Amino acid sequence: MTTGLLDRESFIANLREVGLRAYHDKHPFHLAMNEGRLSAEALRGWVVNRFYYQRNIPLKDAAILSNCPLREVRRVWIHRIVDHDGSSENEGGIEAWLHLGEACGLARDELMQDPHLLPGVRFAVDAYVNLARTQPWPVAIASSLTELFAPDLMATRLAAFEKFYPWIQPSGLDYFRGRVTQARRDSNEALEITTQHCNTREMQNAAIRALEFKCDVLWSMLDAIQDAYGRNRG
């Protein structure tokens, strides 16, 4: 039964609890990655499939913008598209991920043309974009709050890649280096918007469910990748 509106601190605590319980840093595939137990084949498979998520992030953010009637929110949120698609001053996150693929020995076409994309990954990512298109824009913004937990994961991943996977060219790790600080900025923005505009208990509950859904998306992607590339390889 729905009760009264949560205060800001309690609402944030509920959102953070989702990540502590369900964020994909606890997935066995990530644990294997961070402990240096992945084969080169499995790591390349992750890079290829994760790229489908990376290149759909601007579509997700464009859907949020198209549903948001508030100019002040759109002005805050719009940089996310440029952050990934790039500009004349900054090549962007998608290009940085392509560099990661090349540093792992993958051709750009292997990422851009999806020959190795797993159906489970496609389904999960497409479901996330659909949430952004169909849910109220504050709820869709709340789904992005997995960024609250990303900086620690990125720092751990960067250290693991440098220690355990020296065959990857160091320049390919720039995406992770950039996201350590960028995710903190982005999560602060999203948290401020979520707490301000999810201003009924029903909206707060919907925001929490959306964040749970996003955690399920990320977890499901890793389930598909782990299943494809073997639980015990590497």
pLDDT in tens, 154-203: 999 999 999 999 999 999 999 999 888 888 999 999 999 999 999 999 99
**What pLDDT is recorded for position 231?**
57
Low-confidence ranges of the chain (pLDDT < 50): 1, 232-234
Q: Six-digit token pair at 104?
A: 């792992």
**What pLDDT is recorded for position 90?**
83
Environment class of 155 (CB within 10 Å of its CB; exposed 0-12, middle 13-18, buried 19+) = middle
Q: Six-digit token pair at 133?
A: 């298109």
CATH 1.20.810.10 applies to domain 8-229: no
Closest CA to 127 of 6, 201, 217, 31: 217
CA distance 97 to 53: 11
**What pLDDT is recorded for position 233?**
46
Q: Six-digit token pair at 136?
A: 């109220």
CA distance 150 to 115: 28
**What pLDDT is recorded for position 230?**
75
pTM of the predicted protein model: 0.94
Asked whether the beta carbons of 76 and 193 are under 8 A apart, the reply is yes
Query: Largest Cα–Cα distance of the chain, in whole Å?
Result: 55
Asked whether the beta carbons of 78 and 65 are under 8 A apart, the reply is yes
| Phi and psi at residue 130, to the nearest 5° | -65, -35
DSSP 7: P
- DSSP SS3 for 167: coil
